[in-house]
Copies of this chain bind each other. A is one copy, B any other.
Amino acid sequence: MDNYEVLKLDNQLCFPFYAISRLITKQYQPHLEELGITYPQYLVLLVLWETDQISVNTIAEKLILKTNTITPLLKRMENAGLIKRLKSKEDERKVYIHLTKKGLTLREKAVCIPSKLIGSDEVDDKQMEMMKKFQQQLLTLLKAMQNTEE
């Protein structure tokens, strides 16, 4: 009868990741709403604030997304006046993404967001550090698996 133990929701490693991911996004939402952006758009900005003027592919790689997700997302961001898309002159296949003044300025408002979220107070620092390491390992492993299967 209970060979089915492995199929119980509480025994899945996958479900907590799925649920936590969505709940974290929801935590961000009210703060991001003030900036007029969504969570995936926020991630794109995090990337661009670190390194401006990079290709669509580079952004996709950093966020582990495909261009068919990023392309329309970037278009919405362009419509919102946050970025500009410019074709590379050396390689006309490439499109380089530039922050506009508006996109750059949002950084100053965004900088206070992390401190407003749970983390520092509610969760133990040591555990948090272990967590991060584990996640890094898991992420590396999963990324490697993606590539070997292609």
Indicate which residue in B20, B64, B141 contacts A142 across the interface (CB closer than 8 Å).
B20
Number of interface residues of A (CB under 8 A): 58
Report the Cα distance A15→B123, complex, angstroms. 17
B contact residues around A17 at 8 Å (CB):
17, 20-21, 24, 135
Whether a CB of chain B sits under 8 angstroms from the CB of A127 is: yes
Whether a CB of chain B sits under 8 angstroms from the CB of A3 is: yes
B contact residues around A127 at 8 Å (CB):
130, 134
The answer to whether A49 touches B18, judged by C-beta atoms less than 8 angstroms apart, is: no
Chain A 39-60: CB-based contact to B (< 8 A → 1; otherwise 0): 1000100110110000000000
The answer to whether B16 touches A47, judged by C-beta atoms less than 8 angstroms apart, is: no
With A20-B142, A43-B15 as known contacts, state yes or no: A9 contacts B132, CB within 8 Å.
no
B contact residues around A8 at 8 Å (CB):
46, 50
Taking the closest CB of chain B, its distance from the CB of A103, in whole angstroms, is 13
The answer to whether B49 touches A4, judged by C-beta atoms less than 8 angstroms apart, is: yes
Whether a CB of chain B sits under 8 angstroms from the CB of A138 is: yes
The answer to whether B64 touches A22, judged by C-beta atoms less than 8 angstroms apart, is: yes
Whether a CB of chain B sits under 8 angstroms from the CB of A91 is: no
Taking the closest CB of chain B, its distance from the CB of A93, in whole angstroms, is 25
Most buried by B among A47, A107, A134: A134
The answer to whether B7 touches A111, judged by C-beta atoms less than 8 angstroms apart, is: yes
Whether a CB of chain B sits under 8 angstroms from the CB of A80 is: no
Kindly identify, within residues 57 to 86 of chain A, every residue whose CB is under 8 Å from any CB belonging to chain B: 62-64
